[in-house]
Amino acid sequence: MIPTTPAFRLDGRRALVTGAGRGLGLAAAAALAAVGAEVVLAARSRNEVNEAAAALREIGGKASGVALDVVDLNATSTWLHQVPAFDILVNNAGTNRPAPFLDTDAADFDFVFDVNVRATFFLAQRVARKLVSEGRPGSIINVSSQMGHVGAARRTVYCATKHAVEGMTKAMAAELGTHGIRVNTLCPTFIETPMTKPFFADTSFRKAVMSKLKLGRLGTPQDVMGAVVFLASDASSLMTGSALMLDSGWTSTS
């Protein structure tokens, strides 16, 4: 008997993507919609996510937008309680405030941890609780980074948050596996997005980054789309507690 390839289709499944108004989040939402998922795009900017959702609907996707600040745990919990469970969560909302270690202040530390760790943790918890209460399986994708596996100058806080995401993802996977809920991280290298564009105005920084990329180019949002579909779908049904590296070989020699 010839085995059949597991389906990459997501028809009938609901997906929530945070930080979905632009960049990686929008790419993830587009990828999931293209394979049949009903996608809710969440971000702080109502206009941005509504416009993105409308654009996806124009090309045949099932998409809607919601203005949601994931750092506001009470508002997020209230909204999640009011909507049907999500089979897929792409925990993409994130931030960075690069600074030398010796100059990093507590306000920046707290801000980056609130978005990258606290909000990621509790959003995953809320989504998982609803799935468990309804006896449904699911896939949680925590967007991490190559910086969750290495260190870098001026990114002490960011690296700390992404190492935390890697650790908590493994622990989530250990607890949620018996409920059929898989939890993995997606670990991109530097991707050209509105958030990262200002960094590359610094010629020396761009040169240093390019020297680490074995494929000789920065990533694009399109580079993450197939990986998101893979992690969300039955094609990765035996994968949990793992990190999927999209780092152009950065960590292979670091």
Quick check: is 130 catalytic? no
Check residue 24 and give its pLDDT. Answer: 95
**Number of domains present in the structure of the chain:** 1
Is 7 a member of any domain? no
Residue 50 lies inside a defined structural domain of this protein = yes
- Tell me the pLDDT tens digit for each residue of 160-187: 999 999 999 999 999 999 999 999 999 9
List CB contacts of 249: < 8 A, sequence separation 6 or more.
213, 214, 215
Q: Is 208 inside a domain boundary?
A: yes
Answer yes or no: is pLDDT of 30 > 90.
yes
pLDDT attached to residue 254 = 64
Say yes or no to pLDDT of 197 above 90. Answer: no
Q: Let me know the angle formed at the C-alpha of 32 by 30 and 35, rounded to the nearest 5 degrees.
A: 110
Query: What is the DSSP secondary structure assignment for residue 251, as one 8-state letter?
Result: G
Cβ–Cβ < 8 Å for 185, 224: no
Domain of 56 in residue numbering reads as 14-244
pTM of the model: 0.97
Mean pLDDT of the chain: 96
In this structure, the number of other CB atoms found within 10 A of the CB of residue 133 comes to: 10
Does 6 map to a domain? no
Tens of pLDDT, residues 31-90: 999 999 999 999 999 999 999 999 999 999 999 999 999 999 999 999 999 999 999 999
Segment 111-121, tens digit of pLDDT: 999 999 999 99
pLDDT for res 53: 98
Q: How far is CA 103 from CA 68, 100, 123, 140, in A?
A: 31, 5, 31, 35
The CA distances from residue 237 to 2, 226, 228, in Å, are 19, 15, 13
Q: Catalytic site residue 212?
A: no
Catalytic residue from among 62, 130, 162, 170: 162
Does residue 44 fall inside a structural domain?
yes
Residues of the chain with pLDDT > 90, as a percent, come to 95
Q: With the C-alpha atoms ordered 60, 62, 63, 64, is the resulting torsion angle positive or negative?
A: positive
pLDDT higher for 197 or 141? 141
In a domain, 27, yes or no: yes
∠ CA 115-235-244 to the nearest 5 degrees?
40
Q: Which pLDDT belongs to residue 42?
A: 98
Q: Which CATH number fits the domain that encloses residue 216?
A: 3.40.50.720
Q: Is position 150 within any domain?
A: yes
Within a domain: residue 5? no
Active-site residue among 158, 170, 207, 214?
Answer: 158
